[in-house]
Chains A and B, each alone.
Chain A
């Protein structure tokens, strides 16, 4: 079984817009995760998500991988963008839209 780090790395590299969250975009299990999922759904571009509540190894591993102790975590083109504060601030400032537009989701 690949390590949590390797599994995360694979997901982050495979999906240019990758959200690690509690729950799923349609059934978020936490307000902060819901906020980021809503921003991404509002933008309308397809994105991949992973429910960390379904996998304790990923739930802990993502904090080490991202050097960021909380969830949700949004990755675009393999880079950590941030949690709900940063994603919200960037969305309000219009910075997130450009970043998302540049992310190429595999067809």
Chain B
């Protein structure tokens, strides 16, 4: 399984129209950085946005042998992304 492609697919499925940038922080495919711009974040606070992403990644993040150990992320709506 190409983990990065799988992460991308799941986030895009869960957040239609999302633009996702993934960065392997350590080269070991278990510490990731994500920048996600999605219309679906509209009206969600920071915690709900992150929970939506964690839910999309599902078992990739949960359980002791989950492949992803750490995920740092920026979650923005298209409007917020423009102000960056």
Whether A and B are associated in the same complex: the answer reads: yes
* Partner-B contacts on A (CB < 8 A): 32, 60, 63, 67-70, 80-86, 89-90
A67 and B51 CA atoms in complex are apart in Å by 8
**CB contact under 8 A between A86 and B51, given known A32-B70, A63-B62, A70-B70:** no
**CB contact under 8 A between A60 and B64, given known A69-B54, A89-B46:** yes
A63 and B71 CA atoms in complex are apart in Å by 14
Chain B interface residue number, banded: 10 to 19
A81 cross-chain contacts in B, Cβ below 8 A: 47
* Partner-A contacts on B (CB < 8 A): 46-47, 50-51, 54, 61-62, 64, 66, 70-74
Known: A85-B50, A90-B46. 17 other contacts (CB 8 A): A32-B72, A60-B64, A68-B47, A68-B50, A68-B51, A69-B54, A69-B61, A70-B70, A70-B71, A82-B47, A83-B50, A84-B72, A85-B72, A85-B73, A85-B74, A86-B46, A89-B46
Q: Which of B54, B64, B70 contacts A68 (CB 8 A)?
A: B54
A10 and B76 CA atoms in complex are apart in Å by 34
Closest to A89 in B: B46
A60 cross-chain contacts in B, Cβ below 8 A: 64
| Pairs across A and B, CB under 8 Å, 10 listed | A60-B64, A63-B62, A69-B62, A69-B66, A70-B61, A70-B70, A82-B47, A85-B46, A85-B73, A86-B46
